[in-house]
Structures are given as structure tokens and as C-alpha cells.
């Protein structure tokens, strides 16, 4: 089975990768979209004062 990796996907904020598997006839057998990143804002914002959170989460995406 032929495999095509699109790594990284570009021209967007963030990280992504696409794996495409082709069958013997050359058609797409299956396709997987992967996000190879995590920073964990969901956790590390815990315990931060509420008024500081907008300043922190503005760095989730600066685009």
C-alpha cells in the first residue's frame, strides 16, 4: 500500500500532519489527520488569577 505523508501542513497556525494510504488501484484507501502538538493551556491556566487569563490565552493563537 502506498503512503503519502503531508508533513507539516502549512499556512495555518498550529501543527498538523496528514497520512494518506493508497490502495493498489491508486485510490484513497484511508486518510488520517494528526495533530502532533499539545501545550496544555487547559491545565496550566488553573491557579492563575482570572484577570491574567486573557493575557495568557491570547498566546493560544497569535494569528
Per CB under 6 A, residues contacting ligand SF4 are 59, 62
Q: Does 43 bind another protein (CB under 8 A)?
A: yes
d(CA 22, CA 38): 29
Beta strands per DSSP E along the chain: 2-6, 17-22, 28-34
Number of C-beta neighbours around residue 8 at 10 A: 13
The minimum distance between CB 12 and ligand SF4, in angstroms, equals: 15
Q: Does 7 bind another protein (CB under 8 A)?
A: yes
Binding region for another protein (CB under 8 A): 1, 3, 6-8, 10-15, 19, 21, 29-30, 32, 34, 36-40, 42-49, 51-52, 55-56, 59-63
Amino acid at each position: 500500500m502506498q503512503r503519502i505523508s503531508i508533513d507539516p501542513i502549512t499556512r495555518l497556525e498550529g501543527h498538523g500532519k496528514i497520512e494518506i494510504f493508497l490502495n493498489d488501484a491508486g485510490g484513497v484507501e484511508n486518510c488520517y489527520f494528526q495533530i502532533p502538538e499539545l501545550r496544555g493551556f487547559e491545565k496550566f491556566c488553573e491557579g492563575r488569577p482570572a484577570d491574567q487569563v486573557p493575557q495568557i490565552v491570547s498566546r493560544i493563537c497569535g494569528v
